[in-house]
Chains A and B, each alone.
Chain A
């Protein structure tokens, strides 16, 4: 569905009109076209948030829900953790305008996409599985790249433009507004982005889901300058969230403040295309177990701070009949977190001065080895070092754990070697085959290494268990292969892929001979061998000049080969089928979203099975060059169902029992209007 392009379209119209005045002097030549094959990816989806037919939500991860190979692990309405082909958290690289963001919350209430508003994003690229090494590093599951809108310069002299929108979504009385302004001339543009969203608890078919409301504000100011053959960008931004409920976790995000500064240059230097970027991103996060839910006997609060600093230098140039990409990347994370008993003021460190630094180097060459063939080869190395200070504050029962942890050296370093090779063969203009193989490496996270005493901190596993870190972990090494088909005769597109991923030293919690307060074994992070395989893809068919049919499908199976158990929290077979009807400025859509039952669950953390479901959504959109209006009804038949990845309720309030899966929203309507000028 068209949207943000309106602005460009209306500008073109304006330019065309202004040319009429000088038509006798300017001769319009025949257009010249430069074409290239889309990036060499076995699979991958590019989403333009403004064009996606979804209910208005301030949650960027929600846009990925129907993307082949992608699913969202959700512990609350603003905590979407991306899962690609069955792997999630640090295994997925999330890149927001070149920034890598480490959640401050030990339970990832604030995953990276939390810090990027859908209204700020121009495109969202989802690469499940094998990604080029230039987009990878220290990740084994794939990459999600969010890119914000690059404002166009004002070539006809000083000017202003902007857009504003507002929306309402009925399942939680969610209100959302955003605005964007750009002002400048042919060499400079100053732009601002602001968005605001509020929501109450979500209603499902049988009542209210407690502790699911939120408040979030985001904003950025940015300056773009034309510098020589390129563009330099300086951006300052912030995200503030308050009272964000996370019913699948033991606490809620009561305050989360993030600030960022980003500097970027895109341009050319002699034969090279150059991208230079540097950033600083800081998160102050506080969670507690009493502000948004019935207070338990022991009221606890946990503040944390995560600071990311990084840079990247990437170069591309023609070489050997193809293109050579090279790059250097540096990244440092500083993480502190503690918990505090609000009644006694006793404190216990979770992380104390923990650091994780990474330096990466890659080279990638893409060329055409023969007619109808294209190939891409990449090599990458990353050096990762982690360290932490001794634990100082501990609650009395953890004294022995503290002594044991402080008695050991904490410094760990790893050298990764990653390699990828991708080939594409075009058997005919309408039929392409894709083959990709890769070796990828990920080092343990600070949590996996340094969680020094059993806590219910697990990067958002939300299984109700307590976890313990392990200083003796090895990095995960993934060997994967992916085969794809790209069949697109006139009016039809079919893109299926199959994949196999063998992960050596897969890190997972496993029971030890020590019980937590609930009498369940503590889960200590250990290395195992795992394998994942499956298939995903998308199709669409332009049935008539006004009707399009399409859909997506994703399936993954994950096994721990060392223990013969299933991997935890894997999305079941799921998909989407839609039909679009275009007439004039209207587009109407009917879609069915469905998921199969998930019975392949993990026994090590008592994962519950889930049933299959299907819902019907109806959507409509009207747009012209200035206005875009949308509305719809989701879950038309008010089905009571739950997404397998939605987590288990821990809040004794509302209509969902503690220990039951958190249901999805019941029937609700939404509207959204956006105006461009």
Chain B
């Protein structure tokens, strides 16, 4: 028996080494893997702007080729005029999307925080159901409902969109906070963090990626839905699309629709960039 062990010293040494290997070696492997992952750039974030620029370029070429002249086609020339129609509508469109998203964030994140505290946790499902129904209502119906309540105008659209886009941010805030590893909170509280410190220093930073994903979804919903703002006199690029439909002018319809798509794609990309760079390091 003893002879066999001596006869195979190489094997024994290997065994010894594997038994006593300090975990530092494996750590370095882990560390470098983490670093290399962080350094690698996601191709999507770089490719998306190229795609957006390409579409914008194509639109520009198409717009040029229309050779808008009021004497030739008054309808097209008036509906697609950059200074009096397209640009002001884009600004309106973004204003609606911007304010509705900001208000959603200001309402949904604090609400999500409150609804994940132990004392109010039981109300979470109820509020989620209400927010769910907001999204379940047909957008058109919601707009009309707000039109009846608030009258015509941009404000009406903004509030309707707030109700419509509340759910993704609220739900993601609640899920993001609930998914924070309990042991990190336990450790923080155990070291003497107050509830507020545990929330602001541990829970919210760790929930940021999920919350931002929700905000991004809400923003895209809002940009899309702002197309309906014209229905209640709220302006936006929906006017151009609607004109194209009503006047049966396909070029007007196409330019309007592609403009909305460009705006949506651009902001989705900005959202993706924000998601990536606002994510706390180390996650």
A interacts with B: no
Could you list which residues of chain B lie within 8 angstroms of chain A, going by C-beta atoms? none
